[in-house]
Amino acid sequence: MASAPLPLSAAPIRFGTDGWRGVLGVDITVERLLPVAAAAAEELAHQAPNDLDSKIVVIGHDRRFLAPELAEAIASAVRGVGLDPLLTSTAVPTPACSWTAVQHRALGALVITASHNPPEWLGLKIKGPFGGSVDVTFTAAVERRLAAGGVKVPIADELQRFDARREHLEGLRSKLNLEAITAGLKAMGLRVIVDPMHGSAAGCVSDLLGTDAEGLVSEIRSQRDPLFGGCPPEPLAPHLQELITAVQASGREGKPAVGLVFDGDGDRIAAVDEQGCFCSTQQLMPLLIDHLAGARQLPGAVVKTVSGSDLMRLVAEDHGREVLELPVGFKYIAAEMLEGEVLIGGEESGGVGFGMHLPERDALFAAMLVLEALVEGGKPLGARMQALRQRCGGESHYDRLDLRLPDMESRRRLEELLATQPPAEVAGQTVAEVITTDGVKLRLGPSHWLMLRFSGTEPLLRLYCEAPDSDRVAAVLTWARGFAEAA
């Protein structure tokens, strides 16, 4: 898959929904990264809770080109502002840095990663001492420090390293009955095929399940490849043909399988069912809600973004759980997890967090709970999801289309039209309700809606649709594209 043309000049340093990202060698250079890391570390120290007596900043990185070297570089920047960098000894999933920041009572963590972005990208994520992403007020304070200027001289010295990967996996083991999961998978005859997309979650599922799972768990695309096979390490169906093919081949051999896939830094998850059908978080979240509220009987509300499937709400209400619907972005879910009792929170793009764990997306923990749910229900993923849909609201299908508009003026005109004259009819169906939590969501019926939402800074329109059948999803998205292009 071809990447977008590279920019000719660096973009201003601005933090997005989860960190600062850009093109390596253009936006992300050592000269630009060092002051950002220094400002972030200083702000972590400045905003540290009163009862946190620490100077430690955990530093981690993914498997991207130059990520290990840049992690070492920012360690010198952290030391240059009088703090103590603690560097991971290998590439790790980003949630491992969040976990170890809590366990080491650190000021927080700085992670060199570009998550699911294309291979030429890199960036920096900031995690707080609570084990999740810092909020927009924090990153705004970091930007103010950068604007104020001043020289912070990096101090090179021998680096203190630690095995964050091992500590994270040990933490997950303490929350799971992995022996029961392995035994249950064997009893079901269900294989597990893992696709880490060449990212930093490689080998983690096998290590968690251990030697008892030999022959049960296999991996594809587990070696480090900074080009990620030529496509972004994002768990979307178009990027997963190798996994889909492997799952289908296993089924033809009489060995049904479930595919688990992680993004480049291991905080997003998707799956492939025994038929080779892609299962996004829109399908996995209802399954996890059903398992955690039902079999595990864990307390708390369900938090979903406005772009999440109605099936999440239907399953939650079937268990008598409160449902909170928030704007798109895991930062809103994390804030709710810090404030109230949350069973599970998730977004359609693959991030899932759990109140019993961290206010953070942790795809490995989510994957283990998916396997636990399949074992508990005694059915493979596709069959389990079909039964759940029949019990809680019938068939539903979902898809998303990203539409690049000609320019920012086109975006402005469309935004104004949606704000003042939202469509009264979509693809021949009357709009029953207009919801403006984030963008414009047009409800057309039960488990049937269209949502139009703009990117934060680009002339990019995201179109989301859920409908009772896939043909209707396609028809609504085609209508929405025509509406947007004609505005």
User: Strand pairing of 108-112 and 121-127?
Assistant: antiparallel
- Split at pLDDT 50, 70, 90, the class of 97 is very high
If one counts every other C-beta atom within 10 angstroms of the C-beta of residue 462, the result is 16
Nearest to 241 by CA among 191, 192, 198, 195: 195
Q: Which two tokens stand for residue 76?
A: 């010198």
* Model confidence band, residue 5 (pLDDT cutoffs 50, 70, 90): low
Which helix (H) or strand (E) segment holds residue 20: the answer is strand 20-23
Half-sphere exposure of 464 (CA within 13 A, CB side): 24
Element (H, E) at 399: strand 397-404
* pLDDT-above-70 percentage for the chain: 98
Tally of CA atoms within 13 A in the half-sphere of 408 that contains its CB: 3
CA dist list (Å): 143 to 152, 203, 453: 15, 37, 26
Mean of the per-residue pLDDT values of the chain: 94
Which pLDDT tens digit goes with each residue over 233-271? 999 999 999 999 999 999 999 999 999 999 999 999 999
**Could you give the strand order of the β-sheet that contains 323-326, starting from the edge strand earlier in sequence?**
323-326, 301-305, 342-346, 352-354
Question: If you count them, how many residues does the chain have?
Answer: 487
CB 278 within 8 A of CB 126: no
Angular region, 122: left φ>0, alpha ψ -120 to 50, beta rest: beta
Query: pTM to 2 decimals?
Result: 0.93
Three-class DSSP category at 382: helix
**pLDDT tens per residue across span 347-399:** 888 899 999 999 999 999 999 999 999 999 999 999 999 999 999 987 888 99
Question: Are 370 and 301 a contacting pair, CB within 8 Å?
Answer: no
Amino acid 324: pLDDT: 96
Mean pLDDT of 429-435: 96
CA-CA distance, 293 to 301, in Å (whole number)?
10
Q: Quickly state the pLDDT bin for 1 (edges 50, 70, 90).
A: very low
Look at residues 364, 331, 355 and name the one whose alpha carbon lies nearest to residue 265.
364
Number of H helices and number of E strands within the chain?
15, 22
pLDDT tens-place string over residues 15-70: 987 899 999 999 999 999 999 999 999 999 999 999 999 999 999 999 999 999 99
**pLDDT for 338:** 93
Secondary structure (H, E, C), 65-115? CCHHHHHHHHHHHHHHCCCEEEEECCCCCHHHHHHHHHHCCCCEEEEECCC
3-state class (DSSP) for residue 168 = helix
Please name the residues in contact with 354: beta carbons below 8 A apart, sequence gap of 6 or more: 292, 342, 343, 344, 345, 362, 365, 366, 369
Q: Which domains does the chain have, with CATH numbers?
A: 20-169 (3.40.120.10), 176-392 (3.40.120.10), 397-486 (3.30.310.50)
Whole-angstrom distance, CA of residue 32 vs CA of residue 10: 10
* Residue 458: Cβ-neighbour burial (10 angstroms; 0-12, 13-18, 19+): exposed
Structure-block tokens of residue 460: 């990019």
Q: What residue type is assigned to position 290 of the chain?
A: D
Can you give the pLDDT at residue 348?
82
List % helix, strand, coil for the chain (3-state, nearest 5).
40, 20, 40
- Whether 191 has a pLDDT exceeding 80, the answer reads yes
Pairing, β 20-23 against β 121-127: antiparallel
Q: What is the mean pLDDT of residues 83-108?
A: 98
What pLDDT score was predicted for residue 459? Answer: 85
Torsion from C-alpha of 305, 310, 311, 314, nearest 10 degrees: 100
Residue 393, SS3 per DSSP: coil
Tokens encoding 435: 């919801």
Express each pLDDT in 293-347 by its tens digit: 999 999 999 999 999 999 999 999 999 999 999 998 888 899 999 998 999 999 8
Query: Do residues 265 and 343 make contact, with C-beta atoms less than 8 angstroms apart?
Result: no
